[in-house]
Structures are given as C-alpha cells and as structure tokens.
Amino acid sequence: MALNRRGFLGRSAAVGAGVAVAGGVAAATPPAAVAPEAARAPKRYSFTVMGTTDLHGNVFNWDYFTNREFDDKAHNDVGLAKISTLVNQVRAERGPRNTLLIDAGDTIQGTQLSYYYAKVDPITAEAGPVHPMAQAMNAIGYDAAALGNHEFNYGIPVLRKFEEQCDFPLLGANALDAKTLRPAFPPYSMHRLRTPCGRDVRVAVLGLTNPGIAIWDKANVAGKMVFPGLEEQAAHWVPKLRSMGADVVIVSAHSGSSGTSSYGDQLPYIENAAALVAEQVPGIDAILVGHAHTEIPEYRVANKQTGKEVVLSEPLKWGQRLTLFDIDVVWSKGRWVVEKVGAQVLNSNTVEEDPEIVKLLADEHEKVVAYVNQVIGTSPVVMSTAQAPWRDEPIIDLINHVQAETVKTALAGGAYAALPVLSQASCFSRTAAIPAGKITIRDAAGLYPFENTLEARLMTGAQLKEYLEYSAKYYVRTPKDAAVDTAKLTNADGTPDYNYDAVYGLTYDIDIAQPVGSRIVNLSFGGAPVDPAAEFVLAVNNYRANGGGAFPHVASAKQLWANSDEIRNTIIQWVQAKGALDPAEFASVGWRLTREGVPVF
C-alpha cells in the first residue's frame, strides 16, 4: 500500500482560521486578513492507531521447530522485527506524534523463544533476564497492550514480571481480583495527541481479555482472578472514559468477532464477543480484535442504540499483519468529534526485518536455537503427522503412549490403579516429524506446540462413546461409493485439527458414511465390546479437561490426578530416558475410517 504523506498531512495540519498560535498562546488575527469562508472552516485533525495481536512469542521470521526461516503456502512472514519496519514506515509517513501503537494480547506464549524465557532461563529468577517480547515491544514503542488468555499459561508470577518489564501498560478491564472484584490490571490507558489547532485529542484505549481464561488456566487463576463478560465491562467503562474527557475510544479486545464459544455453555460469557461489544455498547469508535487468528482488514458493525458504525479490524497472527485505523476528528461545539474511521492491514512480508531489533535480540535468539537443537535420542524410522488427520499414525501413538504411561505411574498404588488407562491426543501440526536418526528437543517439542499439562479423569464406557462420536464430527460425511479426497475429508464445519481427538487404548471404526452422532462402531477394549458402565481413566490435556472444544462429559468428570509440567516436557524427558525409540513399543492401529464396514484406506 502506498502511503500518501501529502494527503495525510494536509488533513492533519488543517488549522481553524482566525487563530494563530505563537508560543502556545492564541493571538487574534486581523479580520481583514481572513476570508469569510476560511473563518467558517472547521478545525480538523487526523491520526493513526496501529495494532497487532496474537504475536505468540514471535520476534524473528524464524520457525524454531523446523530450524529455518518461517514460510507458509501464502509466503507470509512473522515477527516483531518485521512489524517494527512497518511501524517505522507509518510513523515516517504520518508523523510519529500522529500515531499510537497497541496490541490485543497473547504475547508471551507460542514459540520456543518465549518458552525458554518462561521455563529454561525464566524471567522470574533472581537477576533473571528481560523477556525478549518486552525488550522488542519497548524498543518499537508500544503504547498499550491488552491481556490475552495465553498470558496466564505460565502462571501469574511470570505475567507480573513481564508486566514489570514492559514500558507500556497491560490492560484488562475484565480481569478482576477474585476477592475485591476490582481490576487486577489497569482497565484503560489515556493518550494525548497534540494537534496544530488547539486542544489535544484525548484517546482512550480500553483493554478487554477473554473470559475463557477461567476455564483454560483454571489452575493458575482459580480463587485469584475472575473474568466477567466483555460486553458487561465495556458498558461499565466506556461511559466513564467519555466522562473523563476521552474524545476517541478504542477497544483492544482479545476476543474474536464471531459471537461463538469453543467451550460450550460452561460459562455465561461469549468467547468471541468483539462484534457484540460494538453492537451493544455505545460510545466506541474502533475495536482492535484478537484471539481468533483470522484476518479482518475492516469490518463495520452498527451500534443498536445509536446506529453509529464501529470499525473492527483483526491483523493476522504472529506479526503477519499490522492494522492501521485512520481516524479523522473535527472540532465541534468545543470538543473533538470523530468524523471518519477507516481500517486496513499491511503485510509484513513486504519489508525486511528491522536491523535494530535483530541486533537487540541476536544473543537471545542464538541461545534458543542452541537449546532446541540439543540431541535427546534416536529413532530407527521417520514418523510424520502428514496423514495423521485420517490415519492412526505412530507419531500420535507416541504422544498417547507417553501420556498413558505417565498417568499409570502416577496412579500406581492408589484406589484407581487397577483401572485401564486410555489417552487422547490431537494432530496439532501436519508438518511435525520425528526423523530417522538423531532426535532433537525441537523435534519432540514440535509434536506438542502448546503448553498444555496432563490430567487424569474418570470416564465410563458410555461417556467415552459419546466423546468419540463428538470427535468424529471432524469428518465430512462421505457416501460409500463417493470418491475420497483427503483435502476435503476433514475439518467439517470448520472444526480445527486440534479439536479432533484420537483415543489410545481402545479399538474402533469411524464410519464416515453415517451422520454425525452415529459413526463409532465396533468400540472395543481388550478384544471385547466396551461395557457402557465400565470405568476407565482418560489421560487428557488440561485444555480439553477444562472444557476446551466443548467435548462431552470430560470437564465434569472426576479428576484423579493432575500435573503442572507441560506435556511437551514429559515427551522430551521420556525420549531422553529411552535414548533409542522402538515404535513396536507404542505404535498400533487402534482406529480406522470405514464406510459400511469397508476400510477407507
């Protein structure tokens, strides 16, 4: 996109005629020097609010799991080093005093870079390092950032230390102290933009985070913080911000725009509520949207009370895009009034990385590259996730075997030690692989890119059948005689790969010719049909156990055990202990796709 400096500055520098400013004091201009039309021309000012979201620990255009520059089918680039270059360009075009830079959350989790400084060389240690994301965002000059749900993954102490290291506020109007019900973080920030024509423009940024934190990070926040709905808190704060003199109100919301939730009805709040906030709460001019990992250059929602359009924009995750809200205000009746708002996104693959950011964090990057390339074991064969969405592959069996073995060991000698232990796992990435030969930390970690922890839940045979039926909705219904195209077979109704669970320890067929709810056939354990009343232990990640994906029964099932260590670490430690992997120890064909009894593959 070409930035029109002349046109922008022409709008920004418009000064009401009849007044000349000298040394900050307004002086009258002789009436004869001013044309009647100019005397009536209103004062106008324009500025730009830039926004990122879901950075997820990406500073460089680098994939620590593949050990090379990031690339995808669309040739997107990632990272704050690229965003910094775009920000510098916008500031040069608009003028640095005519811009703000904000973020909509999920900053400190997602890459091995962010993991390293939370767990391996933690920022919370005495005389610990400064988090690379804090260093980069400080250097770029962020003005404010909303809290994302993943900010809580490593616990509140890590988040508080990160907050302390940032030169900008972390905002969360709906992150409340559980005892006082007062904001545990600053709800908003207020910014003044100096205009060439009188009073500053006062821009309020209201930060809203995701109520799903109460479920997804229950272990870290229960009894400490509560997270009411976005609409409720926006309705409380927006009028306050206006009464405090805000001319413009921007919401930075770690919440998608679809109005849906991934955890069913376990909370009375909507997960993806940004559009509802725009629709229901008057007084908002623009919303920077996050959380959903989608790209929305510009989306307009009419407020139900006022009819005014609110502009929403969501830049693509990981620093792939930078949102620009261009805002025009006009002086009317003694105050600045928003006249026009437009939004667009810039693509970070059009620029080079900012050498200043690269230089700033080169040492941290090199440390993490060395860490993830440590050899922890060997494998006699290649194992890949490429076909795991439609076949029972050994690489997913490896995850499940490690989880089941860990739970069995934890329950040994206890009241539930005699129960059979099953395990669930998803294909998180279709490009993960264990190579033949040496296995590194990054190979093992690539199987589990999320910081999920492991739990054990008590389930019945009937509940497991319903659990599997729900999982099987992932497949597009395909009649017996229809051709099977694996490119179109999965992700029915938008179900992501991480919401398809294979259960290890049972054997079963998934009949994809049948409707949803009637697909699981021949469900067996130990060669015999599963008794609906029989009890099993399910090794399950905390996201699923806490309701993520809205799978039936598991969230309400009795918790028998829980671990605070990441499943990823458990896999790494298991491989290190084995030294050499033997697929015969864990690989089996427990499930398959069929149509009327005939295997699909």
- What does the pLDDT look like over 241-278, one tens digit per residue? 999 999 999 999 999 998 887 655 555 688 989 999 99
Strand partners, 342: 326
Token pair of 287 as six digits:
């919303």
Residue 42's pLDDT band (cuts 50, 70, 90): confident
- Supply the DSSP string of 554-580, one letter for each residue: GGGSPEEEEEEEEHHHHHHHHHHHHSB
Q: How far apart are CA 111 and CA 66, in angstroms?
A: 12
Higher pLDDT, 517 or 28: 517
pTM value is 0.81
Closest CA to 284 of 259, 314, 252: 252
Are 360 and 425 a contacting pair, CB within 8 Å?
no
In this prediction, residue 289 carries a pLDDT of 98
Token pair of 99 as six digits:
């811009």
- Say which residue the tokens 């458990």 belong to: 570
Residue 216's pLDDT band (cuts 50, 70, 90): confident
Q: How far apart are CA 92 and CA 88, in angstroms?
A: 6
Q: 18-27, 461-470, 528-537, 542-551: which range is least confident on average?
A: 18-27
**Secondary structure of residue 207 in the 3-state scheme:** strand
Query: How does DSSP classify residue 119?
Result: I
pLDDT at 165 over 80: yes
**Secondary structure of residue 290 in the 3-state scheme:** coil
pLDDT at 17 over 50: no
Q: What percent of the chain has pLDDT over 70?
A: 92
pLDDT at 16 over 80: no
431-440 average pLDDT score: 96
Closest CA to 253 of 235, 230, 285: 230
- pLDDT tens column, 557-584: 999 998 878 899 899 999 999 999 999 9
pLDDT at 31 over 80: no
Mean pLDDT of the chain: 92
Query: How does DSSP classify residue 199?
Result: S
Q: 160-164, 213-217, 502-506, 513-517: which range is least confident on average?
A: 213-217
**CA angle (489, 490, 493) in 5-degree steps:** 110
Residues 6+ apart with CB under 8 A from 582: 380
In this prediction, residue 12 carries a pLDDT of 43
Q: How far apart are CA 522 and CA 511, in angstroms?
A: 10
Are 472 and 553 a contacting pair, CB within 8 Å?
no
Q: Residues 570, 571, 576, 580: is their CA dihedral positive or negative?
A: positive
pLDDT at 34 over 60: no
